Amino acid sequence: MSILNNALSGAVASQLALSASSQNIANLQTKGYTRQSALLSAVAPAAGSSQAGNGVRVTELMRFSDSYKTQQMWRSASDLGAHSQTQPYLTQLEKVMGDDTASLSSGVDGFFAALNSVAGVDPTSTPLRQQVVTAAGLLAQRFNSMNNVYNAQLQSVRQQRSALVDSANTTIASIASLNAQIANANATGSNPSALIDARDQAIDSLAGQMGLEVSDQPDGTRNVSLKTGQSLVLGGVPGKLSVSGGAAQTFSLTFAGTTFDLDTTKAGGQLGGLSVYEQDTLLPLQQGVAEMAQQIADKVNTQLKAGYAMDGSAGKPLFVYNPGSTSNMLQVADGYQTSDLAFSGDGKPGDTGNLQQLVAIKSQTITMAKIGTVLISDADTQLVGRLAVDSQQNKGALKTAQTMRDQAVADWQSTSGVNQDEEAVHLVEYQNMYQANMKVMSVANALFDATLQMMG
């Protein structure tokens, strides 16, 4: 009977081990699946017994998981998310601001080239004067177009962050729910592996959206918090992120009835990357272009007021700067005529005294908050150069983050992923184990029948 019991325990154990390997192979392509294996141990004989043992049993279904490698994968997801979300915006601005047909430098050059043409030919020529007014309109249009690009990106960034908050809240609630299910499964002795995989996948997704700190708890749950310390999930209790405001978004986190303000530039992940891009790159560029437009308009208008128009009257401002306008930041004054251009310095129609002063403005300097004092002719080049540096730095950081993410995923796969060849070997081993135990059972039955016959 002991032989029969041993063989039966071996057959049952091999069936469970086969089931675990077949489950692994079935989930070979399942993202985030952690392989499992039956842990076998010998059953010791009772105290004082002369038997060799009482067979084998499956003590547990073991998950092949390395907490360090999992944490590394989540951290790399946060770094990758921060840089991957901002690069498309940087690339778009590089193309727009670096395009000679649309750049501000080209518009500035065109305006002062038109002034030079008048100065070199005939300051009273209506066609040449019209070229100046037309060039002024094109310059204003370029400033407005660039400002519209910035406004469109700002709107896109803010919409994207709002969508990230909604998505994160869904994921946070899912993690808390899975925590509760895992704790219950552990308490009742059920296998929580599939629930743990689902939770880890949810954490990985959330880690791409914001930087996280994750800690394991004795009951199998995982607490999740922002890297700045605020709790997102404690056991089965979720927090909730909120965003309010229109043009100036504010973010907060509510947990257990208490609300905290969040600085999203420190949040990490996609949310932090977008906020850092808005604050450190996009808004300073928009401010720089606005400062450039205002100071060029002020210098040209001031100089025109110092001269005389064709009819001898005092000069009028050519540009109107509207800082509050989203689409017409700079424009030519309504009803402005070619005869209003005050090129004369002494009131005589053919004089070019004031025109020469207008031409010289291009060689003057303007002061921009993020760049400093630069020549008007170099201002746009300085802005584009700064943008190029930001873009190159982000590209380098993105490449590094992608490499780190790929390596972290590969490390995780080496421990937790399913190896098809390895599982095929296990299938053969456990099948042989099953067949061998069935053979033992057959021998035990034969011995048992022979014994009965002898006793009969």
Distance of CA 114 to the CA centre of its chain: 45
pLDDT tens for each residue of 396-437: 999 999 999 999 999 999 999 999 999 999 999 999 999 998
Q: pLDDT tens-digit profile of 342-354?
A: 999 998 888 999 9
- Say what the pLDDT of residue 307 is: 95
Question: Taking the model in full, what pTM does it have?
Answer: 0.88
User: In this predicted model, what pLDDT tens digit does every residue of 171-227 receive, in sequence order?
Assistant: 999 999 999 999 999 999 898 999 999 999 999 999 999 999 999 999 999 999 999
What is the spatial distance between Cα 18 and Cα 372, in angstroms, rounded to a whole number?
Answer: 72
Confidence (pLDDT) at 292? 96
Confidence bin at 248 (pLDDT 50/70/90): confident
- pLDDT band for position 395 (cuts 50, 70, 90): very high
| Confidence at residue 254, expressed as pLDDT on a 0 to 100 scale | 95
Banded model confidence at residue 285, pLDDT cuts 50, 70, 90:
very high
Position 456 scores a pLDDT of 63
Answer whether residue 113 shows pLDDT above 90.
yes
Please state, in angstroms and rounded to a whole number, the distance separating the CA atoms of residues 242 and 164: 10
> What pLDDT band is residue 2 in, cutting at 50, 70 and 90?
confident
Checking if the pLDDT of 53 tops 80, the result is no
pLDDT value of residue 300: 97
Looking at residue 44, its pLDDT comes to 78
pLDDT at 73 (0 to 100): 95
φ/ψ of residue 11, rounded to 5: -65, -45
